[in-house]
Amino acid sequence: MKNIKDVFSSIYRLKFYIIIFVVAFLVFFVVYFPQEQVIRMIFNNISAQVGKEIIPSEASVSFFPAIGIDFKSARISGNNNSSDLYLGETSVGIPLTSIITFSPSLDISSKSFNGDIDAKILGLPIKPGKSPDEIYLDMESKGLLLSEILKDQVLDIEALVDLAIQGNLNLVNPSYSDVDITSTLSKIQIKEGKIMGFPIPNVLIKKGELAVAVAKNEIIIAKMNLGTPSDDLNLYVKGKISLKMNNPYDLNIKLKVTGELAQQFASFLAMLPAQAKNTEGFYNIRIKGDKRSPIPQITPIQ
């Protein structure tokens, strides 16, 4: 009996020393881990891949539940023709479970552009230094401020955006991607400017919806709605745009323009077939063409 007690006592002491060793090792590892050098190396690699300099603020390395980097903010430098973008509080990491199963994935959580972004990227290569040819992206964003993303564009547009992107992104040839994109917009304000040479006033639009798929060298627009019957602009679009060399397109459009906007677009509306306008004031037209011809075919839809 005494021998059994001695055995259990020895096991307990051994277990105790193992725990002390593990804790001491972890403390030593965290204290002496070259955090700044690792962070600099990772962001230098990312910058080299995307072609833009990324400068994080208050960055730190995390080890659980994912191996990755957390930072308070980051500046993504633009090129000569675009402004810098600023990310808010962000976590980027590879979950330990995905490493154990030899299928590393990347989880991203960010409070940026006045909203929340959550994304998971699958298909990362196991071998270091190898770039993936294709990745699977599952992203959901809520309450993004569009003006914070679309800087230095032709028009100054403000809107709140909810966005979801899911599917395979081909990084070698994007036209071979297979992706579904859905989005809702609210509180849309297009500020005074020009579209295709036509001056436009300030435009307020209550809401917008978008459902687009990229598949087999085509952009398939299942739904693109902008505005309501009570807005000055009410637009519905369905159709396809090819991503092949000449970019042929075939779109069905339902358009109604009223108020001050109709006055500004009077010359454009005069170009549309009169028989395409119904009793409710909507133009129902089909637009076909390709990149080779600057003038599309516009025919009425009855």
* Confidence (pLDDT) at 8: 46
Question: Positive or negative, the Cα torsion across 85, 91, 95, 96?
Answer: positive
Which helix H or strand E contains 126, and what residues bound it? none
The CB-based long-range contact list for 147-154 (8 Å cut-off, 24+ gap) reads 148/85, 148/86, 148/113, 148/114, 149/85, 149/113, 151/78, 151/82, 151/83, 151/85, 152/78, 152/81, 152/82, 152/83, 154/193, 154/194, 154/195
Burial class (CB in 10 A: 0-12, 13-18, 19+), 205: buried
* Confidence (pLDDT) at 167: 93
* pLDDT tens over the chain, length 302 residues: 445 545 445 544 555 555 555 555 545 445 555 566 666 766 666 666 556 778 888 888 777 777 778 888 888 886 665 677 888 898 888 787 776 777 778 888 999 888 999 998 887 776 666 667 788 889 999 999 888 887 666 567 889 999 999 999 887 787 788 999 999 999 888 887 766 566 677 888 889 999 999 988 899 999 999 998 888 889 999 999 998 888 899 999 999 988 878 887 788 888 888 888 888 889 999 999 888 877 788 888 86
287: left (phi over 0), alpha (psi -120 to 50) or beta: beta
168-190 b/e (C-beta count within 10 Å ≥ 16 → b): bbbeeeeebbebebbbbbeebeb
Who's near 92: CB < 8 A, 6+ residues apart?
68, 69, 70, 106, 107, 108
Place of tokens 């395979």: 168
What is the Rg, in whole angstroms, of the alpha carbon atoms belonging to the chain? 27
Q: What is the token pair recorded at 249?
A: 């397109």
* Confidence (pLDDT) at 85: 81
Q: What is the token pair recorded at 263?
A: 């006055």
